[in-house]
Amino acid sequence: MPRVHIKTYGCQMNERDTEQVSQMFTERGYTMTATDTDADVVLINTCSVRDQAEQKAMGKMGMVRRRRIPLVTGFMGCMAQSRGSELVDKAKVDLVVGTQKYHRVVDYVDEIIRAKEAKQMDEERFSIVDVEEEEQSQNTIRDHTLKEKQASAFVSIMQGCNMKCTFCIVPYTRGGERGRPIADIVEEVKRLAERGVKEVTLLGQIVNLYGRHEFPAVDGKSPFVQLLEAVHEVPGIQRIRFTSPHPIGYKKDLIEAFTYLPKLAEHVHLPVQSGSDAILKRMHRPYTAAKFTELVQRIRAARPDIAVTTDVIVGFPGETEENYLETRKLFEAIRFDNAFVFRYSKRRGTPAAEMEETIQVPEPVKEQRNQDLLALVNSIALPMYDRLVGQDVEILCEGPSKTNEARLTGRTGSNRIVVFDGNPARHIGEIFKVRITEAGHFTLFGDPVLS
């Protein structure tokens, strides 16, 4: 059977979609390969959030085809969705599959191979483009390929987003919000737990607003909190995370959930995007800096040990120095545990890309704000790591460290990375304590505590 390689660029949702497609290929008898050099089928699954990701994907496909033309090449995911058949002409691929059609990829590859083998089609006709919407497509991302001793898994609970933040392409590439039924998600989590998974991360573009249009609130609890409670009941699951949330989805019931669901990890990622009310309005983010600050206070009151991280964009169209300083001030006040700082870059097809040229922030100014904010984030966050030296922290060991294969790595509930010398057979996939001996740049080092 042909060998398949899927290269993935982008977010955890993309990784999860790739895992599903890989599993479907394996079930059909194909062999998945780690590199594209010996693959008969080369697919690229990429997001569209930044132009850079698209350029990288196009460059990669060009490189693959220059070296040797595989039997089948194709794009899937957000870029495929937004560019459609344009990719067949531009990148000369055989297959373009959008975000609601992942479950059709294997059939399409089969079809193309059959046609090529039978030589029934000329090069033009080999291509298949499917970027249509499909009802219930959110329910097709549900199977897992687990590595040996894998104890952490992502579970896709919904697709799409209705929020229409002006910088974001997701509502146009992933469509409107569609949630999976709670019972189906819980079944998937049970199956994972039976295979040894101890930690699940619930995934969605706007995960904490899951099901708001489809499922009713029960006893004042949103569908998302109902789902958290149900997953919390699954035997064997010891940690629950979720990403990516929206600040407006943190209603009273979700904040309270952190007080009575101990398996909810002590980490929230709260994308603030800007600390300026004027910019938040331009971004179409429905909260103010004051409301955001109050929200963080309420979350910290509910779970005092919780880590709060964020995403922020600097240099959004119209951002004045004063607006930037408001963001800076918010960062000083909140003192995030970590932050991902992005320089605004135009994303074709979004409302912000259409904003007048006159209000675009020059690149050197964006760069200066980026560096300034990063320095502030580091000056606040890194001492928090130093303070953990000498303490015992509980981690879930994920496997060998990415930077040093001879050592092992794991994460704390607050999502901090810990590297240590351990015994793979004994430690991988287990939850245990590590005594921290040293703090590095957003990484902790330590030794397992003998029990």
Of 112 and 165, which CB lies nearer to ligand SF4 in the complex structure? 165
* Integer Cα distance of 204 and 175 in angstroms: 12
Region from 162-170, 252-260, 338-346, 390-398 binding ligand SF4, contact rule CB under 6 A: 162-170
Query: Cβ of 370: how many Cβ atoms within 10 Å?
Result: 18
- Binding to ligand SF4 by residue 161, rule CB under 6 A? yes
The full DSSP string for 119-171 is T-S-GGGG-EEE----TTGGGG-----PPTT--EEEEE-EE------TT--HH
Q: How far is the CB of 346 from ligand SF4 (least distance, A)?
A: 15
> Rule CB under 6 A: which of 172-211 touch ligand SF4?
205-206
Segment contacting ligand SF4 (CB under 6 A): 82-90, 114-122, 156-164, 357-365? 156-164
Considering only the stretches 52-60, 167-175, 361-369, 425-433, report the one whose residues sit in contact with ligand SF4 under the rule CB under 6 A.
167-175
Task: Decide: is 353 part of the binding site for ligand SF4 (CB under 6 A).
Answer: no
Asked whether position 361 contacts ligand SF4 by CB under 6 A, the answer is: no
Listed residue (10, 9, 45) closest to 25, CA to CA: 45
The residue within the footprint of ligand SF4, chosen from 53, 165, 295, 418 (CB under 6 A), is: 165
Asked if the peptide bond before residue 22 counts as cis, ω within 30 degrees of 0, the response is no
State the Cα–Cα distance between residues 315 and 164, nearest whole angstrom: 19
Which of 67, 114, 125, 164 binds ligand SF4 (CB under 6 A)? It is 164
Name which of residues 222 to 251 contact ligand SF4 (CB under 6 A).
246
170 touches ligand SF4 by CB under 6 A: yes
Residue with tokens 């794009």: 75
Q: Enumerate residues 6+ apart whose C-beta is below 8 A from 76.
A: 17, 21, 43, 44, 45, 95, 96, 97, 98, 101, 102, 105
- 3-state SS class at 354: helix
Q: Which residue, 340 or 432, has its beta carbon nearer to ligand SF4?
A: 340
168 binds ligand SF4 (CB under 6 A): yes
Q: Which lies closer to ligand SF4 via its Cβ, residue 80 or residue 128?
A: 80
The helix/strand/coil state of 400 is strand
Number of residues that bind ligand SF4 (CB under 6 A): 10
Examine residue 355 and tell whether it contacts ligand SF4 (CB under 6 A).
no
Contact footprint for ligand SF4 (CB under 6 A): 161, 163-165, 168, 170-171, 205-206, 246
